[in-house]
């Protein structure tokens, strides 16, 4: 019998589906599952109107779909190896649209060294949206194991690659909700449509990080996933969160800096690598990152306790929103 009981996305995972998972599935506590000690797999489902805009260019839709999965693999310290593709197509998708979609896949297959292994395609009988399902396999280098969410320790530092908030601003620009600057708007939209990944950082994660994930639900929310999986608390200093010049321009127009920084840190779709590492590991990481041209910033630290504290100007604040949950209305 149906009820009116409503659950959030992570409540659904924990209460409904976790009992179906075993050791290889890591009790559904991570972005990946273990196929062997060195092989991992991930799956992401993308729906038009939820994960991308229905009128986004087909090649960019394809690249985002593939990159969201590749991001799960590289943040574990692995390299992507191949993928399965499932498509549920709306009736409006014709051969020209599909060719552009395939061209986008081909572009990123070459960029990231992956190939299509198989899949399935169907078409909606009615007016259903485009649905993309990708299952992507990854492989660790010999002698290294994937870096899970569970390994953070009190005293470890919290760090993030790249910059935060550009994709969320880009979505708002694409939807006509704001304009940052004429020369910035198109770049921000591009950040939303095609996330910038850091595959060259994967070996550094494997060698030095104690826990890691990619930022898909928002920096604050995803930091909470590490805290929960590792059974500790952590704090984030918003003043240390790296921002692009475009995000800084937007920030300068906001009346409440703390609330605005928290908003940037709660946007999803950044797909940067959020990781923890012992303080002793940070100098070696910085040296390697500089060699590869991958920026990262230390933004907080792990402590005894539970949950995530958010600081701005040295004071704890309450963010208006911590991140995205598909099953909770904004």
Q: 207 labelled as ligand-binding?
A: no
Q: Answer yes or no: is 51 a known binding residue.
A: yes
Average pLDDT, the chain: 88
Q: How far apart are CA 329 and CA 74, in angstroms?
A: 30
- Any binding-site annotation on 31? yes
- For residue 127, what pLDDT is reported? 82
User: Reduced to 3 states, what is the DSSP secondary structure of residue 96?
Assistant: helix
Q: CA dihedral defined by 148, 150, 156, 160, rounded to 10 degrees?
A: 40
Residue 32, pLDDT score: 62
pLDDT of 3 reads: 47
Sketch out the chain's domains with CATH numbers. Answer: 9-139 (3.30.1330.10), 149-317 (3.90.650.10)
Smallest Cα–Cα separation from 134: which of 62, 30, 74, 236? 62
DSSP H or E stretch at residue 181: none
Which pLDDT score, from 0 to 100, does residue 68 have?
97
What residues contact 61, with CB distance under 8 A and at least 6 apart?
46, 48, 52, 101, 104, 130, 132, 193
Q: What is the dihedral of CA 219, 223, 226, 230, to 10 degrees?
A: 170
Residues 160, 219 contacting (CB under 8 angstroms): yes
Tokens (6 digits) for 205: 């994660």
Any binding-site annotation on 30? Answer: no
Q: Is 108 annotated as a binding residue?
A: no
What is the 8-class DSSP label of residue 253? T
Q: Is 79 annotated as a binding residue?
A: no
Distance (Å, rounded) from C-alpha 253 to C-alpha 249?
A: 7
Which residues are CB-contacts of 180 (< 8 A; sequence separation ≥ 6)? Answer: 169, 173, 188, 246, 249, 250
| pLDDT tens digits for range 275-327 | 999 999 999 999 999 999 999 999 999 999 999 999 999 999 987 655 544 43
DSSP-based three-state secondary structure for 135: strand
Query: pLDDT tens digit string along 186-229?
Result: 999 999 999 999 999 999 999 999 999 999 999 999 999 999 99
Q: Is 149 annotated as a binding residue?
A: yes
Residue 265: which of 313, 304, 314, 318 has the closest Cα? 318
Q: Is 127 known to sit in a ligand binding site?
A: no
Tell whether 120 is in a known binding site.
Answer: yes
Q: What is the C-alpha to C-alpha distance for residues 305 and 313, in angstroms, rounded to an integer?
A: 22
Distance CA 114, CA 205 (A): 20
Strand, helix or coil for residue 278 = coil
Alpha-carbon distances, residue 290 vs 100, 186, 211, 283, 285 (angstroms) = 36, 28, 21, 11, 8
Task: Tell me if 189 sits within 8 A of 131, measured CB to CB.
Answer: no
Q: Phi first, then psi: what are they for 129, rounded to 5°?
A: -80, 165
128 marked as part of a ligand binding site: no
User: Tens place of pLDDT for every residue, the chain, 330 residues?
Assistant: 344 455 565 565 566 546 555 555 565 666 566 666 668 999 999 999 999 999 999 999 999 999 999 999 999 999 999 888 888 988 888 888 888 999 999 999 999 999 888 888 888 877 889 999 999 999 999 889 999 999 999 999 999 999 999 999 999 999 999 999 988 999 999 999 999 999 999 999 999 999 999 999 999 999 999 999 999 999 999 999 999 999 999 999 999 999 999 999 999 899 999 999 999 999 999 999 999 999 999 999 999 999 999 999 999 998 765 554 443 455
- Cα 171 from Cα 167, distance rounded (Å): 6
């Amino acid at each position: 019998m149906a009820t009116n009981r409503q659950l959030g996305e992570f409540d659904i995972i924990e209460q409904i589906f976790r009992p179906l998972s075993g050791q290889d599935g890591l009790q559904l506590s991570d972005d990946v599952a273990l196929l062997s000690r060195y092989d991992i797999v991930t799956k992401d489902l993308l729906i038009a109107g939820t994960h991308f805009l229905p009128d986004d260019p087909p090649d960019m839709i394809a690249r985002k779909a593939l990159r969201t999965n590749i991001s799960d693999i590289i943040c574990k310290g692995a390299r992507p190896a191949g993928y399965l593709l499932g498509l549920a197509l709306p009736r409006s998708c014709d051969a020209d649209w599909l060719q552009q979609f395939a061209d986008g896949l081909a572009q990123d297959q070459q960029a990231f060294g992956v190939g299509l292994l198989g899949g399935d395609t169907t078409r909606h009988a009615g007016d259903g949206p485009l649905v993309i399902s990708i299952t992507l396999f990854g492989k660790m280098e010999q002698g290294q194991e994937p870096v899970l969410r569970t390994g953070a320790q009190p005293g470890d530092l919290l760090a993030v690659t790249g910059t935060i908030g550009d994709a969320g601003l880009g979505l708002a620009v694409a939807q006509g909700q704001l304009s940052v600057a004429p020369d910035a708007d198109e770049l921000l939209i591009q950040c939303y449509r095609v996330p910038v990944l850091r595959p060259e950082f994967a070996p550094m994660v494997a060698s030095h990080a104690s826990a890691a994930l990619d930022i898909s639900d928002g920096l604050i929310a995803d930091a909470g996933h590490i805290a929960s999986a590792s059974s500790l608390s952590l704090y984030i200093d918003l003043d240390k969160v790296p921002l692009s010049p475009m995000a800084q321009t937007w920030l300068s127009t906001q009346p409440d800096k703390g609330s605005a920084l928290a908003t940037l840190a709660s946007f999803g779709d950044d797909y940067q690598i959020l990781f923890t590492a012992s303080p002793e590991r940070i100098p070696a990481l910085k040296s390697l990152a500089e060699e590869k041209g991958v920026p990262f910033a230390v933004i907080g630290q792990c402590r005894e306790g539970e949950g995530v504290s958010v600081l701005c100007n040295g004071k704890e604040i309450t963010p208006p929103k911590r991140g995205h949950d598909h099953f909770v209305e904004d």
